Structure 1
Amino acid sequence: MSAKPQPHQQRRRTRRLIAAAAGIATVGALIAALPAAAGETKSEAKSKKPGGYNKPSRYQDVQLLSFNDLHGNLEPPSGSSGRVTEVHEDGHTETIDAGGVEYLATHLRQARKGNKYSVTAAGGDMVGASPLISGLFHDEPTIEALNKLDLDVTSVGNHEFDEGAKELRRLQKGGCHPTDGCYVEGKKFKGADFPYLAANVLDEKTKKPILKPYWVWKQNGVKVGFIGVTLEDTPGIVSAEGVKGLKFKDEVETINKYAKLLEKQGVKSVVALIHEGGFPASTAYNYDCDSPGAGDGISGPIVDIAKNITPKVDALVTGHTHTAYACTINDPSGRPRTVTSAASFGRLYTDTTLTYDRRTGDIARTAVDSANHVVTRDVPKAADMTELIKKWNTLAAPIGNRAIGHISADIPATGTESPLGDLIADAQLAHGKELDPETDLALMNPGGIRTGLTFAAKGDEGDGVVTFAEGFAVQPFANTVNLQDFTGAQLVKVLQEQVTGANAASPKVLQVSSGLTYTLDLTKTGADRVVADSVKLNGAAIDPAATYRVATNSFLAGGGDGFTTLGQGTNDVVGSDDLTALEKYLTANSSATNPISPPAADRITVVQ
């Protein structure tokens, strides 16, 4: 951004203009005839005085560009993960291919043109659960891409803790990986140019945030503070090792604390970056969730959070739920406040106009405007991002291009019970039987399945070929396959935990291996939604007193995702990582001439 001319420079320029205009017209008439300078805002043009001196107007529009949940998707995501739905005025919907950092960079750069007051922020999960091009290199490629995107600030998300706080600090500060070293000879990883904010993530020993709690953006006298938090329940959805030694505090309490602190420092315009989100009533990215009333079109955790965050905060950039919305939810004083989320994987970005009042130093809430925009693929690719992707793909190619199986059609990961969920559960059951022939069944958490498998070729691999890179995109967490013993009563309780306790409001339906069947009646409430006498294994009712050998990934075996009973198993055996189990299953059960077909996804009978 260009520096504002100093007053003495302006005075010299004024004298030159007056001399040149003498005998032609009055200075005022001359200036009135001149067009606004390139990139000049309307408020700046209106405040221009004879001689070209710009006196800042009282109100200054600040452009806030934001996105969330990129998850290292540098290349355009495939299948449904790379599409958004648009609803038109007549009610019909259209599906648009979207995403890819080459296109995201172009869209953001175009959006910034003509906006001298522009800041770019993100709502967490920039890394973690990433495709091979980033995940194989501990997400260094994504940090490099975000630096090139001119990201100014982001909150942490739960996935920033997949590899623990020490690794997160390395991504922030730089340095080569402690085990893998430097990936490019003679080149040290520089770290993030932008601050990661972790206001509610405390070191258990020091009781202080592990990273900066807030950051202030400044431009020509305009100051906007950013406070970053992740969801308080991060320990429930991240491995115990990833959050070891950390304490996660309440989101509202933390934001209110730092908003008050910022005010004491003279910063009255505040944006909260919150890695927690909601669920709009429509999946269309441009759905008007303020109709018929403020907040009526959105539900989920962010609603209560937004209603309780101090009015000192002027806007909320959110994430985590991978949904799209630009809503207003009333703050505790009853005033509407903007709450946004840009879906996931770089498919959207949000453009919010914050009108800054120079007299009060605060945002004029009534003038806030916000909308989501599609990262379409019909714009030129950003050359610097293309070069970055090429560099890291070259390093990853020897591993990523290896074929590990063949499929006859797309195997999606969507639905209460998904075809890919069943396939992965079957793969883990097969691996479990290798470890112990007495293994009875396998359970897989849906959140551990990051994307589906697509039949169409990517590059020159050939239709139906599943590469290691595609398998890595499906299961990037490197969880192990663990065996444990449970009673039949415990097994039924596990299934009930899908819809009770931590999962009561938003059920997490486990994917099940072949042979396990039951009925999930969503018309009922509580544990009754799992019809107990319908739970059967190979056609036989589950015996509450019998012992069953169950395969799960290590995250579930530790009681993750609210499945506390799965953390109480006995007779543990630890196997290979889950991606190895999937690869071995695909290799053993498919070939170019006999590809594997999508499972029917008929093991769970859902009543709605």
Structure 2
Amino acid sequence: MSLPLRFAALLAPLLAAACAAPIATSGPQGGAAPVEVGIVAINDFHGAIEPPRQSVFVPGKGSEPDAVPAGGAAWLASAIDSLRARHPNHVTVSAGDLVGASQFASSLYLDEPAVGVMNRIGLEFNAVGNHEFDRGRAELLRLQNGGCEQTTLNKPCQLEQFAGARFPFLASNTLTEDGSPLFAATGMKSFGKGARKVTVGFVGATLQGTGSLALPANIKGLTFGDEATAINAAVDRLKQSGADAVVVLIHQGGKTTGAPDPQGCEGLNGAILPIIDRLDPRVDVVVSGHTHWSYICERTVPGRSGPLLLTSAGVYGELVTDITLRIDPVRHAVIDHAARNVIVQSETYVASRGPVPNNPDFPAFAPRADVASYVARYVDASKAYSARVVGHLAGTVSRPGGDGSRNGGTMGNLIADAQLAATAGAGAQIALTNPFGIRAPATLIPGPGGAITFGQIYQVQPFSNQLVTQSFTGAELKAILEQGFDDDAPFQALTPSAGFSYSYDLSRPVGSRVVQMTYQGKPVDPAATYRVTAVNFLTQGGDSFTLFTRGRDAVTGGIDVVATEAWLSATAPRAVPAENRTIDLTPPDKR
């Protein structure tokens, strides 16, 4: 097949330009040539077995960035194969959220197809992310070990006898009740023989905040320790076991500023920075995730003689990171490294703004036949569920700004309105939804006649959370909204239902950023009681909204996606709820 050669020819000059500064200025000692190892890395796949109908944005020839349609497991398989062809010594890894918050055809079947896809692609190590716990510990262990024991409401093994992941999950900082690890902390892979043998060690870790991002029932008995402490302890063990290079796979990350650029690192910020600043200087590479952001960074870290390489491949298999390590087999050390994010350009699609064509400046991969056939089996089986029309919309609704946005937009408005209507019998006056709970593609584009299918609404609400209505005073409600803007991530503006609105100013001190709240056109009374609906993820303190747990007179209702279906089916077509219910008063220079 000519694709890998074409790809290599296009990428070679770019890789040369992207090479990192050497970790050690001197070459290999004793006359031994360095051994080159390629690490092929992904993160935040989220069961995206089909093309996600999204783009990777790159610096454009004009003032606006260019869009490149990307993703889909069969195309990802070909992209990874092409990178492996460049590296006789290679290993393929993931930095977590391989499953959970997944596409319909994967989620419906408990993410068995996501694991099946990765078995076929040849994934070798996966660090556990927070979404691996979406269905609880027992189901996560089943994904690792295989079997058909039913641990959730959905029946497993509907299309195949599920054999489990052929790759290990790694979790150095996830401990069970007796202090033992839930999964192994580390893994190793060796290349070459004799004096030319080199070994790469891998440490997996999830973010310490996983406890606030998962339902308490799903992580009962588990603790998530300090990331750097657990990683550093594992580095010692790896080095004692003969690791020449150490690579951290961590489900925590950062974000950059400036124009979109998968190779960029401008203004890197986020929770990953204080972690890597505390890492053992013997760590050579950190493959990160969680934020759904792409970057290639060289980080100056205390105690290191050269920069630490930090990477992230965005989300949904739209990118794959090609990392090259040159290892001195005599000194047992990495002497230099290079990395670049490769766009998994796949099929064209039509977005709300119009058609998104292929970009000739980047390789276009062909879908790998075996993976495409496997995915098609699950997609075809899911169509009986996903193709059912559930209602009609008068226009497109979306969460603007994608994963980086703290606002719910018209998509959030619609979800909140649906949840308010579904819980009217519990006395609900206000419903609040969290923007980060709105998943890709975070957009509903009506089909012919305004039709919306179940598959579409399930994609944006894949968690099957229950609705809970509770009582709060106006003062308590304000305190809940303030938690969206405090220093305890994630940072987001809860989207309210119609009739309620609020304004905020991020230039004000934490705790006083919510400036005004109105309900039915009148200021919210701090002493009055209001009935407020949210999903059980929030009411149990998810996304760091711990004050939701203090609600009174709780009434548990139906499932979130069912509420959305009922709302859409009640009126044909349902109007787009376009009003701005969260008003940002922050001065432009403070945003």
Identify the TM-score tier after normalising by the shorter chain: 0.7 to 0.9
2-structure distance, mates of 1:90, 1:61? 38
| Closer, same or farther: CA 372–601 of 1 in aligned 2, 3 Å | farther
Contact 1:283–1:324 (CA<8 Å) still a contact in 2?
A: no
Question: What's 2:496 paired with?
Answer: 512
One of 25, 30, 38 as aligned partner of 1:63: 38
One of 343, 346, 369 as aligned partner of 2:338: 369
Question: What's 2:140 paired with?
Answer: 168
1-structure distance, mates of 2:579, 2:334? 51
Question: What's 2:550 paired with?
Answer: 568
1-structure distance, mates of 2:428, 2:370? 51
* Deviation at residue 332 of structure 1 after TM alignment: 2.3
SS at match of 2:52: coil
Does 1:199 pair with 2:172?
A: yes
Does 1:412 pair with 2:402?
A: no
SS at match of 1:154: strand
2-structure distance, mates of 1:384, 1:408? 40
Contact 1:518–1:605 (CA<8 Å) still a contact in 2?
A: yes
**1:279 partner amino acid:** K
SS at match of 2:469: strand
One of 283, 305, 309 as aligned partner of 2:279: 309
* Deviation at residue 92 of structure 1 after TM alignment: 4.8
* Deviation at residue 164 of structure 1 after TM alignment: 1.2
Question: What's 1:41 paired with?
Answer: none
Question: What's 1:246 paired with?
Answer: 222
Does 1:213 pair with 2:213?
A: no
One of 323, 332, 348 as aligned partner of 1:352: 323
1:310-369 residue CA offsets vs partner (Å, 9 max, x unmatched): 1111000000000000001122214311000001011101001111111122211xx211
Contact 2:59–2:259 (CA<8 Å) still a contact in 1?
A: no
Contact 1:104–1:375 (CA<8 Å) still a contact in 2?
A: yes
Unaligned runs of 5+ in 1: 1-54, 292-296
1:499-520 residue CA offsets vs partner (Å, 9 max, x unmatched): 12524xx522101111111211
Question: Where do 1:407-556 residues align within 5 Å?
Answer: 407-414=393-400, 415=405, 416-433=407-424, 435-436=425-426, 438-451=427-440, 452-455=442-445, 457=447, 462=448, 464-503=450-489, 507-531=491-515, 534-556=516-538
1-structure distance, mates of 2:454, 2:108? 11
Question: What's 1:598 paired with?
Answer: 576
Does 1:257 pair with 2:233?
A: yes
More off after superposition, 404-413 vs 508-517: 404-413
Contact 2:432–2:494 (CA<8 Å) still a contact in 1?
A: yes
Q: Stretches of 4+ moved more than 6 A in 1?
A: none
2-structure distance, mates of 1:207, 1:523? 43
1:252-300 residue CA offsets vs partner (Å, 9 max, x unmatched): 00000000111111213100000000011135233532x6xxxxx2000
| Closer, same or farther: CA 207–497 of 1 in aligned 2, 3 Å | same
More off after superposition, 390-399 vs 577-586: 390-399
Q: How many residues align?
A: 527
1:144-172 residue CA offsets vs partner (Å, 9 max, x unmatched): 00011111111000000011111111101
* Deviation at residue 399 of structure 1 after TM alignment: 1.1
1-structure distance, mates of 2:158, 2:530? 48
One of 80, 83, 105 as aligned partner of 2:55: 83
Question: What's 1:144 paired with?
Answer: 116
More off after superposition, 104-113 vs 516-525: 516-525
* Deviation at residue 90 of structure 1 after TM alignment: 6.9
Unaligned runs of 5+ in 2: 1-29, 347-363, 587-591
Contact 2:395–2:450 (CA<8 Å) still a contact in 1?
A: yes
* Deviation at residue 407 of structure 1 after TM alignment: 2.2
2-structure distance, mates of 1:539, 1:129? 36
2-structure distance, mates of 1:60, 1:135? 41
One of 254, 270, 275 as aligned partner of 1:300: 270
More off after superposition, 422-431 vs 560-569: 560-569
Contact 2:109–2:158 (CA<8 Å) still a contact in 1?
A: no
Structure showing greater relative contact order (alpha-carbon pairs closer than 8 Å, 6 or more residues apart): 2
**2:379 partner amino acid:** N
SS at match of 2:397: coil
Contact 1:268–1:312 (CA<8 Å) still a contact in 2?
A: no
Question: What's 1:224 paired with?
Answer: 200
More off after superposition, 94-103 vs 314-323: 94-103
**1:106 partner amino acid:** S
2-structure distance, mates of 1:523, 1:598? 31
* Deviation at residue 181 of structure 1 after TM alignment: 4.6
**2:310 partner amino acid:** V
2-structure distance, mates of 1:476, 1:90? 37
Question: What's 1:267 paired with?
Answer: 243
One of 385, 398, 409 as aligned partner of 2:384: 398
* Deviation at residue 89 of structure 1 after TM alignment: 7.1
SS at match of 2:479: helix
Percent sequence identity is 35
**1:175 partner amino acid:** G
* Deviation at residue 417 of structure 1 after TM alignment: 4.0
Contact 1:164–1:241 (CA<8 Å) still a contact in 2?
A: yes
* Deviation at residue 463 of structure 1 after TM alignment: 6.6
1-structure distance, mates of 2:102, 2:569? 23
2-structure distance, mates of 1:601, 1:57? 67
Contact 1:306–1:330 (CA<8 Å) still a contact in 2?
A: no
SS at match of 1:299: coil
1-structure distance, mates of 2:395, 2:39? 42
1:522-549 residue CA offsets vs partner (Å, 9 max, x unmatched): 2223122211xx2110111111221111
SS at match of 2:339: strand
Question: What's 1:190 paired with?
Answer: 163
For normalisation by structure 2, the TM-score amounts to 0.86
| Closer, same or farther: CA 278–464 of 1 in aligned 2, 3 Å | same
For normalisation by structure 1, the TM-score amounts to 0.84
Contact 2:392–2:446 (CA<8 Å) still a contact in 1?
A: no
Contact 1:454–1:464 (CA<8 Å) still a contact in 2?
A: no
| Closer, same or farther: CA 582–456 of 1 in aligned 2, 3 Å | closer
2-structure distance, mates of 1:66, 1:101? 14
SS at match of 1:225: strand
**1:582 partner amino acid:** T
Does 1:325 pair with 2:298?
A: no
Contact 1:417–1:604 (CA<8 Å) still a contact in 2?
A: no
1-structure distance, mates of 2:284, 2:519? 54
RMSD: 1.8
SS at match of 2:330: coil
1:76-115 residue CA offsets vs partner (Å, 9 max, x unmatched): 112xxx1111014776521111111111111111111142
1-structure distance, mates of 2:518, 2:128? 42
